[in-house]
Amino acid sequence: MADTQIGKTLFGPRSRPLPIIIKAKGRFMPTNDGAAATSWPERFLHGTGTLWFLVAVVGQFAFVVFILAYYGTRTAAGDYPGWNDKNLIMGYVEGDFWGNVSFGVHVLLAAVMTFGGIFQLIPAMRRHFPAVHRWNGRIFLAIAMILSFTGIGMTWLRGANLAVIAGAMTSINGLMIIVFGALTFRYAVARKIAIHERWAMRTFMVANGVWFFRLSIMAWVVLNQGPRWMNSTLSGPGDILVAGIAYFLPVISLEIYQAGKRSRSGGTKILTGLYVIAMTLLTAIGIFGAIAFMWLPDITS
């Protein structure tokens, strides 16, 4: 604002500001004011990132609504066997008190973590409500750790897996959450904010592995017009590919996006933005499929 007012004062409302020449690494670069100009490839890349986030928010809220409407209502009513109205690997088991508690806590806390994770990524929250951002982040990390340990425990101790390879990939995702979350907390405590933010984004991606898994399944089914190469034990070629996409592609895509932001090449930024658009489209297809064929039928039946 100050630069704008100075420009109006010096040159008048109809005059164009004189270009200021600044030296950067041995080259002279023209600019219309003293602030660093943002190129259109940078704006394009930033816009694609924002678009993906907005699409993801729709899917995340839909996931939270499903958890509360399906599991939340049954749990509140004490209808624990009702968890099994949905086709689960292992939900309520009569006589398995601690296993049932673990499952209930795991599912319901997932809604809290998902809801809190959305707000952690909103820049305005960090700028205007830093205390809320810090405490929400601590709660997010604590829940992510609990979900990881309970998820790994249910997979191998309770036997909540249909195939070894599917259980292994889920457990790898859980271990990634634990490691990434620990690094996020470490760099926050050390006040290395830039590094903290990078690990926080990585943690967000891997912590939503279950959400991405459901989206990946439905995107695969929609695009292939059916569960091609999949089977009932999640051990088919399609199942393995979808699990790999769900648990690893999001964090890889994040690294691609961050590398594009750091690049000084406009062409690289444009190509990265096009990649993000493709991932956004894939995410949108998965969200549509999950809402239409996975979540909505269960809460309206």
Q: For 95-148, write each residue's pLDDT tens digit.
A: 899 889 989 999 999 999 998 988 888 888 888 888 998 899 999 999 999 999
Find the DSSP H helices in the chain. 2-11, 40-67, 73-76, 97-120, 123-128, 130-156, 164-189, 193-207, 209-224, 237-262, 266-289, 296-300
Residue-wise pLDDT tens digits, 26-63: 443 343 433 344 899 999 999 999 999 999 999 999 99
Distance of alpha carbon 77 from the chain centroid: 31
pLDDT (0 to 100) of residue 23? 41
Task: Determine the 3-state secondary structure of 24 from DSSP.
Answer: strand
CB neighbourhood size of 25 (10 A): 5
Structure tokens at 262: 């750091």
CB 165 within 8 A of CB 142: no
The structure tokens listed for 227 are 């569960």
Which H/E stretch holds residue 30? strand 27-31
pLDDT score of 24: 42
pLDDT for 247-291, tens place per residue? 999 999 999 999 999 999 999 999 999 999 999 999 999 999 999
Indicate the pLDDT class of residue 243, thresholds 50, 70 and 90: very high
pLDDT at 14: 40
Q: What is the pLDDT of residues 150-209, one digit of tens each?
A: 899 888 888 778 788 888 999 999 999 999 999 999 999 999 999 999 999 999 999 999
| Stated pTM of the model | 0.83
Helix or strand run (H / E) with residue 70? none
- What is the three-class DSSP state of 20? strand
Q: What pLDDT score does 1 carry?
A: 39
